[in-house]
Homo-oligomer: A and B are copies of this chain.
Amino acid sequence: MEKIVFSPNEGVDIQELERLCLKVGWPKRAPSKVETALKNSFMVASLCLIKEISQPDGSSVEVKRELIGMARATSDHVFNATIWDVLVDPLYQGQGLGKALVEQMIRALLRRNIGNITLFADSQVVDFYKNLGFEPDPEGIKGMFWYPRF
């Protein structure tokens, strides 16, 4: 039996996350830094595939758990949150799991009374987030990034 489980804030295994990032094609980041970033994120949501494999003789059930998606948010714990690093294993993309992951995260943030939920979206995922209720540049507000001047 297989099921997909969403956990809003249960912690993610760093090595598993590293494997997931590799699959998605993200640049490698130092595990110690990733660990610090997760520890200092307000919320780290995960999607896991749970496989229950029964022994042929019915004597026992082996449970395998695989991380297939993740998203995290920084926050001041009261007013605002910013969602970063939304990723889903390419093998499981196209099934609405990324959408479910972000939707669940929004709900979890609203339960914590965070009113201002924000993110920075790459151009190719702007429509994805629009469908989830995010508005680009509302009232002319601009997302801006600082770049070192050479």
Contact = CB atoms under 8 A, between A and B. Distances in A.
A41 interface: yes
A82 B75 CA distance: 9
A53 interface: no
Contacts of A42: 40
A124 to B, nearest CB: 8
Where chain A touches its partner, the secondary structure class is mixed
A94 interface: no
A148 to B, nearest CB: 7
Contact of A141 (B76, B116, B139, B143): B143
A60 B146 CA distance: 46
16 contacts: A38-B76, A40-B76, A40-B77, A41-B76, A74-B75, A74-B82, A76-B84, A117-B146, A118-B120, A119-B144, A120-B144, A121-B144, A134-B145, A135-B144, A135-B147, A138-B145
